Amino acid sequence: MIVVDANVVIYLVFETSFTSLARKVYARDPDWVVPELWEAEVLNGLMNEVRAKHTNVDGAIHAAGNAAAILSGRARTCDRETVLRTAEACRLTAYDAYYVTLARKLGVSLVTEDGAIKENCRDVARSLTAYLGLEEGPISVREARATYRTRARK
């Protein structure tokens, strides 16, 4: 089980540059859980795609239907006090804090590409690539720079 934010849901049901990664995450763990507000956020994101001329309303309706089918029965509630405290402590919107709160409540990862969540909630937040184990670590370990002495020229 993992918590996914609205953008990851959109990546799964609407073709973007992240769609192939979202599909791999779903193939690895199809037990996606979301807070109750997920649908409003997904619809808003799809409407942004309509306004950006990346799809039309019919395309957005189709994608929203697919999202609803995938997430049927997977929405969970969150305690509003905890959401607000999380939002304040992590410098997030209340919307984003719902996803973080749910992941912490369930003790699972939150898969997201949201920069603020990834930066401020490292205990639960994982990017798509990190969740899939595709992020590379440091290529080499840096050692202290050597100092060289040169002989004085004659």
With a cut of 90, say whether residue 140 has pLDDT above it: no
With a cut of 50, say whether residue 14 has pLDDT above it: yes
With a cut of 90, say whether residue 136 has pLDDT above it: no
pLDDT of residue 92: 98
Interval 67-104: pLDDT, tens: 999 999 999 999 999 999 999 999 999 999 999 999 99
CA-based nearest residue to 101, from 124, 129, 68: 124
Interval 120-130: pLDDT, tens: 999 999 999 99
CA-based nearest residue to 75, from 131, 35, 20, 125: 35
- Structural element, H or E, at residue 34: strand 32-35
With a cut of 70, say whether residue 119 has pLDDT above it: yes
pLDDT of residue 152: 53
Interval 31-64: pLDDT, tens: 999 999 999 999 999 999 999 999 999 999 999 9
CATH superfamily of 2-132: 5'-nuclease (3.40.50.1010)
pLDDT of residue 18: 96
- Give the Cα separation of 85 and 120 in Å (integer): 14
Q: At what angle do helices 6-13 and 38-51 cross, to 10 degrees?
A: 60
CA-based nearest residue to 13, from 114, 37, 38, 121: 38
pLDDT of residue 15: 95
Distances (CA, A) of 113 to 49, 62, 66, 119, 148: 17, 23, 21, 10, 45
